[in-house]
Amino acid sequence: MANRTIIPFGPQHPVLPEPIHLDLVLEDEKVVEAIPNVGFVHRGLELLCQKKSFQDMVLVAERICGICSLIHGVGFVQGIEKVMNLEVPERALFLRVFWGELSRIHSHILWLGLAADAIGFESLFMHSWRVREMVLDIFEETTGGRVIFDAVKVGGVRKDISKETFTRIMKQLDKVEEEYKQIAEVFIKDFTIIHRWSNVGVLSKENAAKLGAVGPTLRASGIKSDTRMLKYGAYEKIDFEPIVEHTCDCYARSLVRVKEVYQSFDIIRQCYNKISEGEIETKVTGFPTGEFFSRVEQPRGEVIYYVKGNGTKFLDRFRVRTPTFANIPPLLQMLAGCDLADVPAIIISIDPCISCTER
């Protein structure tokens, strides 16, 4: 048996945008086992629900993560709306889907850039982020913020989009899609990328199901599961099929994300065609009583919001389980047996978002 070495990986490492520490047990160049260590940025946001009213908690929920902020807000308000039995106007639901899918586009393009950067493909990283910038401009025009939007509130949304702006944005999005198409081609066919990602970090279908993977990580292992299929909000009126890949490696995980961006463009077009004029918010009276596990699909996977109200303006419990938290055990499985040089590419392939994991 070869000698075993333990190599600490992180919390500071060039590929990691956020701190996670892994103890890699190596036999020569092969990783035998990995032990994760999170908890560098625990903020205790969940306890804030005892100090902030449930309406102000939306602002906290949106700031859990800087990349999927709007969908965090949607998950939270959806839970509150269920326990308060609020009827949200349809236009508001459609606007949430519209911004939610735009967030998915910007998050996935961001990830594609980061993943390219992790394997040293820096020009592709910069081109990806150039395209993402165009999406951020649409956000700034419609909600006022570039990454933190504050567009969702209990009972509806805060901002409306006028008909003309909407039409103009759709034209802008066509341009974004055209630019994106060129970059997506590279992710699909480039020699470096295929060479670096094929058969790396394989997570078999059985393991993905057993270890509770979520989101693109699960779908890249051949399991058709997407929380949007619960048809919450306006997804009821939108047709789409989860995207599945069967090769189970890092390349499959990138393909799922590449294709999901196209799907999001399609959902946005459906939104534009199906949205109707009307109110964007309902009046909120009373306080939440009851509990609900609200599940929504984020760019990284399923996020769970547990809200428990006790009839006052403060909640009893506000709990978030973010997708990265569920994706850490599958990550350990992927790392076992890989080369040390592939570790950064594998870690980035689950799209880790550590600060939102620890809340």
d(CA 165, CA 176): 16
Contact string (CB under 8 A) for other proteins, positions 65-104, x = contact: -----------------x----------------------
The least CB distance from residue 129 to other proteins, in Å, is 9
191 binds other proteins (CB under 8 A): yes
Q: Which of 211, 334, 343, 354 forms a contact with other proteins (CB under 8 A)?
A: 211
Distance CA 146, CA 108 (A): 16
| Long-range contacts of residues 191-195, Cβ cutoff 8 Å, at least 24 apart | 192/119, 192/121, 193/116, 193/119, 193/121, 193/251, 193/254, 194/251
Residues numbered 115-144 forming contacts with other proteins, rule: CB under 8 A:
123-124, 127, 130, 133, 140-144
Q: Is 312 in the site for other proteins (CB under 8 A)?
A: no
Instruction: Find the angle CA(236)-CA(172)-CA(348) to the nearest 5 degrees.
Output: 70
Residue 220: both structure tokens together? 């890249």
316 binds other proteins, rule: CB under 8 A = yes
Determine the 3-state secondary structure of 280 from DSSP. coil
Burial class (CB in 10 A: 0-12, 13-18, 19+), 91: buried
Nearer to other proteins, 17 or 329 (CB): 329
Exposed / middle / buried, residue 163 (Cβ in 10 Å: 0-12, 13-18, 19+): exposed
Range in contact with other proteins (rule: CB under 8 A) among 64-72, 106-114, 230-238, 254-262:
230-238
Q: What angle do CA 249, 254, 257 make, to 5 degrees?
A: 130
8 A C-beta contact, residue 205 and residue 222: yes
Q: Is 168 in the site for other proteins (CB under 8 A)?
A: no
Rounded CA-CA distance 77/318 in Å is: 12
**Span from 145-153, 256-264, 275-283, 343-351 in contact with other proteins (CB under 8 A):** 145-153
Q: Judged by CB under 8 A, does residue 239 bind other proteins?
A: no
Minimum separation from the CB atom of position 27 to other proteins (A): 20
Q: Kindly state whether residue 8 participates in binding other proteins, applying the rule CB under 8 A.
A: no
Question: Least separation, in Å, of the C-beta of 306 and other proteins?
Answer: 5
Residues 243-302, interacting with other proteins (CB under 8 A):
292-293, 295, 302
Distance (Å, whole) CA 209 – CA 3:
33
- Hunting for tokens 């189970």 — which residue is that? 248
List the strands of the sheet with 21-27, edge to edge.
Answer: 4-9, 21-27, 30-37
The least CB distance from residue 8 to other proteins, in Å, is 15
**Residue 319 touches other proteins, criterion: CB under 8 A:** yes
Mention every residue, 6+ apart, whose C-beta is less than 8 A from residue 159. 95, 142, 143, 144, 151
* Stretch of residues binding other proteins (CB under 8 A), selected from 103-111, 231-239, 258-266, 270-278: 231-239
Draw the binding track, 15-54, toward other proteins (x: CB under 8 A; -: no contact).
--------------------xxxxxx-x-x-xx----x--
Choice between 68 and 208, CB closer to other proteins: 208
Query: Which of 185, 274, 289, 311 is the binder for other proteins (CB under 8 A)?
Result: 185
Q: Which of 202, 268, 328, 354 binds other proteins (CB under 8 A)?
A: 328
- What's the DSSP call for residue 323? H
The yes or no reply on residue 166 touching other proteins (CB under 8 A) is: no
Q: How many residues bind other proteins (CB under 8 A)?
A: 69
Q: What separation in angstroms does the CA of 198 have from each of 26, 249, 261, 342?
A: 22, 6, 21, 11
In the complex, which residues of this chain contact other proteins (CB under 8 A)?
35-40, 42, 44, 46-47, 52, 56, 59-60, 63, 82, 123-124, 127, 130, 133, 140-145, 148, 150, 158-159, 182-183, 185-186, 189-192, 194-195, 209-212, 225, 227, 229-232, 236, 292-293, 295, 302, 304, 306, 308, 316-317, 319, 321, 325-326, 328-330, 358
